[in-house]
Amino acid sequence: MRTRLATWMDDRQVALYLGALLVGGVVGLSFPSVATPAEHAINPALGLLLYATFLAVPFGRIGHALRDWRFL
C-alpha cells in the first residue's frame, strides 16, 4: 500500500532530483567547508537510493520480464 506522500514524490521524481541537485550545488559553492563531510556521505547516500529504488521492483514478475523480448 502506497502512501499519498510516496505517490506524490513518485509523480514529481524528476523535479525533486533536479531541485536536490540545485540545492546541493548552491550549498557546495556557498559553504566549501561542507565538502569533506559531504564526500564521506556520498556512498551511504547512493546505497540508500539504490535500496529505495529496488524496493519498487516487483521481484515476483522478474521471470515474466526476462521472457518479454521487447522489454529486454
How do residues 8-56 score in pLDDT, each as one tens digit? 988 999 999 999 999 999 999 999 999 899 999 999 999 998 898 888 7
**Does 43 fall in a domain?**
yes
Does residue 44 form part of some domain? yes
The number of folded domains in the chain is: 1
Q: Would you state the pLDDT for residue 72?
A: 73
pLDDT tens, position by position, 45-68: 999 988 988 887 787 887 887 888
pTM, full prediction: 0.60
The span from the CA of 70 to the CA of 2, in Å, is 28
Cα(38)–Cα(62) distance, integer angstroms: 35
Q: Please check whether residue 72 lies inside any domain of the structure.
A: no
Q: Which domain holds residue 24?
A: 4-67
